[in-house]
């Protein structure tokens, strides 16, 4: 049995900690949100009143927080992780953050003689619940075996991406590719409809042809073609538009700092911004199909029925 502190018990942290508890581990959790704490307690997490209390005597300290600013906030200050960590603990951040924050936490940890690994995830809320998330790890080689062990009960696949911040670099590039692929599926699906193709037949053709992608296989934005599409469910989020905007924004920031032009990612950002400006940031990101049709007559989308 291993012992964990877990900061951030939201949509991802909740089910991830439940899997740790199910695998027989001890988890002490902290979150600012009472509802998140109550749900995690139901999954067997011991709720702590502070970061310090959660960290007392544990082997691994995970953070699963919305953005870089939240990760910095829980690491810094007298009440933060750095102030209470020992060199026996392994600190692991699984949040999707910007490269600068990841480097800052790595450097700050090394300066204090602490052990830190960046370990973002792919697989969404369903992967978190099923314990099949893909983890991508960045940090010192000597920490990887230990990190992989703590991650195992939550993971379908763990891949060491490289040195410090390479996990987050892989995550940012991967998600940028996903949202560019989503644009291809959105445009292809709507044009195919207007040209008179049967959507299921066209989807099958693309699936065995060069239009195939994960987005096309999983998020194809037309109702009644594939079971996993949000289009079957009035675009209720399987991946929220505002989270997609955050991820593609991280890629654009990284493009700017490295001097790489990312015109397709910029288009994806514009699509998401358009939906967010209409108050649709909480709908599924595949609702970008709505930006393609002048009359907004998107099959599967009924704004009246959107909760
Ligand atoms: P969420 O908003 O559901 O959960 C985040 C939790 O952090 C909330 O419960 C919030 O109260 C808590 N929190 C914020 N600031 C805090 C603080 N200072 N101290 C303690 N708790 C604090 O978000 P989520 O969907 O669980 O995502 C978490 C991270 O995982 C994000 O970086 C996201 O990009 C990434 N991610 C999400 C998905 C997904 O499908 N939801 C998939 C892959 C990666």
Question: So what's the pLDDT on residue 231?
Answer: 97
85: its two tokens:
């960590």
Q: Which of 28, 67, 142, 171 is catalytic?
A: 171
Is 171 tagged catalytic? yes
Average pLDDT over residues 166-174: 98
Sort residue 27 into left (φ over 0), alpha (ψ -120 to 50) or beta.
beta
Q: Which residue has the CA at smallest separation from atom 4 of ligand 1?
A: 10
Supply φ then ψ for residue 240, to 5 degrees.
-65, 145
State the Cα–Cα distance between residues 135 and 171, nearest whole angstrom. 9
H helix count then E strand count, the chain? 13, 9
| Beta-carbon count within 10 A of 209 CB | 9
Tens of pLDDT, residue by residue over 131-165, are: 999 999 999 999 999 999 999 999 999 999 999 99
Question: So what's the pLDDT on residue 126?
Answer: 87
Average pLDDT over residues 36-62: 98
Question: Model-level pTM?
Answer: 0.94
Alpha-carbon distances, residue 225 vs 79, 203, 285, 291 (angstroms): 51, 7, 17, 21
Lowest mean pLDDT among 2-6, 155-159, 302-306: 302-306
The pLDDT-based confidence of 55 (bands split at 50, 70, 90) is very high
20: CA distance to ligand 1 center in Å? 17
Kindly state if the Cβ of 35 falls inside 6 Å of ligand 1. no
Contact 154, 126 (CB under 8 A): no
DSSP type of residue 20: H
- Mode of pairing for the β-strands spanning 121-122 and 155-162: unpaired
State the Cα–Cα distance between residues 222 and 203, nearest whole angstrom. 10
Average pLDDT over residues 248-271: 98
State the Cα–Cα distance between residues 25 and 44, nearest whole angstrom. 10
Task: Give the domain 3-164 fold.
Answer: Rossmann fold (3.40.50)
Domain ranges in the chain with CATH number 3.40.50.720: 3-164
Span 170-306: which CATH code? 1.10.1040.10
User: SS3 for 22?
Assistant: helix
Type and span of the H or E element at 63: strand 60-63
Domain ranges in the chain with CATH number 1.10.1040.10: 170-306
Q: Measuring CA to CA, which residue among 19, 17, 20 is closest to residue 29? A: 17
Q: Is the pLDDT of residue 296 over 80?
A: no
């Amino acid at each position: 049995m291993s012992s964990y502190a877990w900061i951030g018990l939201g949509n991802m942290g909740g089910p991830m900690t439940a899997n740790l508890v199910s695998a027989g581990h001890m988890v002490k959790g902290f979150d600012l949100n009472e509802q998140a704490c109550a749900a995690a307690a139901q999954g067997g997490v011991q709720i702590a009143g502070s970061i310090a209390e959660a960290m007392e005597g544990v082997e691994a300290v995970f953070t699963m927080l919305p953005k870089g600013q939240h990760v910095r906030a829980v690491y810094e200050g007298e009440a933060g992780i750095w102030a209470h960590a020992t060199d026996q603990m392994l600190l692991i951040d699984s949040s999707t953050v910007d490269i600068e924050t990841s480097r800052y936490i790595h450097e700050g940890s090394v300066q204090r003689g602490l052990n830190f690994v960046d370990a973002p995830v792919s697989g969404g809320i369903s992967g978190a619940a099923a314990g099949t998330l893909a983890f991508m790890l960045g940090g010192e080689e000597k920490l990887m075996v230990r990190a992989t062990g703590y991650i195992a009960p939550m993971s379908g696949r763990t891949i060491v991406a490289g040195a410090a911040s390479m996990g987050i670099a892989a995550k940012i590039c991967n998600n940028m590719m996903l949202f560019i692929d989503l644009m291809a599926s959105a445009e292809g699906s709507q044009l195919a409809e207007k040209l008179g193709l049967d959507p299921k037949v066209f989807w099958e053709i693309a699936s065995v042809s060069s239009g195939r992608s994960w987005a096309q296989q999983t998020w194809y934005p037309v109702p009644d073609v594939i079971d996993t599409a949000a289009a079957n469910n009035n675009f209720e989020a399987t991946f929220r538009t505002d989270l997609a905007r955050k991820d593609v924004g991280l890629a654009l920031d990284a493009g700017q700092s490295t001097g790489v032009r990312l015109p397709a990612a910029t288009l994806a950002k514009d699509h998401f911004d358009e939906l967010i400006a209409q108050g649709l940031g909480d709908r599924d990101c595949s609702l970008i199909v709505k930006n393609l049709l002048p009359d907004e007559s998107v099959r599967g989308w009924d704004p009246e029925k959107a909760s």
